[in-house]
Amino acid sequence: MNITRFEAAPEYKAPNHFDMKCLRLQGHEAGATQALWMGVSQIQPGGHTGLDGSPVEKHYVVLEGEVTLVSELNGVITEAVLKVHDSACFAPGEKRQLVNKTQQQASILLAMPYPPART
């Protein structure tokens, strides 16, 4: 068993994340895991990510506040507002952006598999 206390979760820097604090809960520097890793992003008012894709699917659950999610897949842009306990999954290759359009901090849980091993 690997336990990470929230107050001791290591912070990490994610590319194209602005006005956000990203904490690793499991995996990577928070402890060895085999299939996936999890983190929490605390998003300040106006904070956001870039509209970027990933080679693996990503799962999100809003823990606090509300987060606007934007996706782009095959040239189609979709936008949705998620509130506490709402969740979303982005497919591999689907571009996604997270935005806090409110005046309150928001936080969101992220779970994603490790990229496939290169051979």
Q: Is residue 7 situated within a structural domain?
A: no
Q: Is residue 4 situated within a structural domain?
A: no
pLDDT at residue number 115: 84
Of 57, 53, 27, whose CA–CA distance to 40 is shortest?
A: 27
Cα 68 to Cα 98: distance, rounded to the nearest angstrom: 6
Here the CATH number for the domain that contains residue 97 is 2.60.120.10
Residue 97 is inside which H or E element, if any? strand 95-99
pLDDT at residue number 117: 73
For residue 117, give the amino acid letter. Answer: A
Of 116, 114, 89, 88, whose CA–CA distance to 27 is shortest?
A: 114
Q: Is residue 56 situated within a structural domain?
A: yes
Q: Is residue 9 situated within a structural domain?
A: no
**Would the pLDDT of 28 be above 80?**
yes
Indicate the average pLDDT of the chain. 95
pLDDT digits over 72-115, tens only?
988 999 999 999 999 999 999 999 999 999 999 999 999 999 98
pLDDT at residue number 82: 98
Of the chain, the end-to-end C-alpha distance in Å amounts to: 30
**Would the pLDDT of 14 be above 90?**
yes
Cα 77 to Cα 44: distance, rounded to the nearest angstrom: 24
Q: Is residue 49 situated within a structural domain?
A: yes
Q: Is residue 27 situated within a structural domain?
A: yes
**Would the pLDDT of 119 be above 70?**
no
Range of the domain at 63: 14-113
Q: Is residue 99 situated within a structural domain?
A: yes
pTM, two decimals, is: 0.92
Domain count, the chain: 1
Q: Is residue 8 situated within a structural domain?
A: no
